[in-house]
Amino acid sequence: MSESNIPLCVDLDGTLTPADTLHESLLGLARQAPLRLFYLISWAFKGKAFFKHEVASRVTLDAGVLPIRQDLWQWIKSERAGGRRIVLATAADRKVADEVARHLEIFDEVAASDGKTNLSGANKRKALVERFGEKGFDYVGNDMRDIDPWRSSRKAIVVGSPHIVERARRVAEVAKVFPTARAGAATWLRAMRLHQWAKNALIFLPGLLAHRILTPPTLIASVLAFFAFGLCASSVYLINDLLDLNSDRHHRRKRERPFAAGVLSARGGLLAAAALLTASAIIGACITWQFCLVLLAYYVITWSYSLRLKRTALVDVMTLAGLYTMRIVAGAAATAIPLSFWILAFSVFMFLSLAIVKRYTELYEGIQAGKQGGHGRGYSAEDLPLLLSLGTASGYCTVVVMALYINSTDSQVLYHHHKPLWLSCPLLLYWISRVWLLTTRGKMHDDPVVFALRDRVSIIVLALLGASVMVAI
């Protein structure tokens, strides 16, 4: 038989797409209807095919943004252009497979799990042999579950590591290999968003403002709290990215995140998140029980934010401001330093303004891309003027709080020469105004923290603020 007469059967999960559609559907279920997760055990007892069918019937996977392995995709298109019949042969549920096939518009036929038979391994081999005959098809796969289909295929096309290529060669002639690389430490560190640990510097503020940061007990407790919060936050970031896969894939920058791009697997992300959270809890247990309570509250609120609150207008930005402020509360709890009204008021207003900057930027970019609202958020294009007013007002309230603090007796007790502190007011006014000017011009990064860390003017302003405080001491 000529090459064009041999159908090309292509696996989906891990092969055509680096993602696992079942895992992503489960994440979608957790995001949309978390209470239905309690049904998973009963579904699992009725078989894997039934389990997949029940999950797929409750979640619609957006095939239009599913990451596709481009080198394999280009080769499949070239085979199709040569007149070859292309078959999607997947263990995913029929609903998912049909969605993918409808979007890609290249498959002549779809074979998938149907709620009764899980089309994987030996079952897939049997179905393909019944349809095309022994050695009557070529098969594209990526892991050990594809050994059975390869055994009955004419030629094997392998997506994966040298190890799986070698296993495929034991049962079939390997016609083509599409190598894949393991995600390295740099990719995981990027997914953990280590740059976001800069936010945890707020933990040092209570000790710093009380002029006790250099005392060993305060410094040690602050450092331990910093790492505990960093590990906890990274755990949350991993889960947040997994729950937000769909909206991230619609975003021009966030689609390059490791999970959204399919570089890291959903399963690996969940395991890593659990490990980071465990490490955070162990470190937290070495500090104080008050700190552990704050850390637990931070984790619970962040989960609530990821699952529901981030899609509620105004509640989302207020929650973000609260999460920033909780870092200051955690620093005070770790060091047993009483919290000041001034620092709490300053933090709430400042971080509310920055949270609104984040939402304004996302909404603005969405409008520029032709959308009328932020994908997965509770805002529309008409909300931009209101967000601008709320954000600038909140930012300027920060300066008012600072001015009142400088003029208070609390400031005069801590600072022998408190007048140099007045320099902080025009500096803050300038920085907040500049941030909002860049935001309205569409030149702001969607994460203000990343902007501040990379922006030369912001670094200079911070240095001048620090200098004014040092002179005042």
Query: In which band, very low, low, confident or very high, does the pLDDT at 371 lie, cut at 50, 70 and 90?
Result: low
pLDDT above 90: residue 459:
yes
State the amino acid at position 320 in one-letter form.
Answer: L
Q: Which two tokens stand for residue 390?
A: 């709320």
Q: Which domains does the chain have, with CATH numbers?
A: 3-179 (3.40.50.1000), 185-472 (1.10.357.140)
Whole-prediction pTM: 0.81
| Cβ contacts of 247 within 8 Å, gap of 6 or more | 254, 375, 376
What are 4's two structure tokens? 């064009």
pLDDT confidence band for 454 (50 / 70 / 90): confident
Segment 346-356 shows an average pLDDT of 95
- Percent of the chain at pLDDT exceeding 90: 70
pLDDT score of 376? 54
CA separation for the pair 259, 242 (Å, rounded): 7
User: Could you give the count of Cα atoms lying within 13 Å of 420 in the half-sphere of its Cβ?
Assistant: 13
pLDDT in tens, 177-234: 999 888 888 999 999 988 889 889 999 999 988 889 999 999 999 999 999 999 999 9
Residue 198: its H or E element: none
Rg over CA atoms, the chain: 27
Which one is predicted more confidently, 214 or 368?
214
Distance CA 379, CA 327 (A): 27
The pLDDT of residue 49 is above 80: yes
- C-alpha triplet 353, 357, 358: angle, nearest 5°: 120
pLDDT for 418: 75
Q: What are the φ and ψ backbone dihedral angles of 176, each rounded to 5 degrees? A: -155, 145
Are 321 and 351 in contact, with CB atoms under 8 Å apart?
yes
Most distant CA pair in the chain, distance = 93
d(CA 431, CA 357): 13
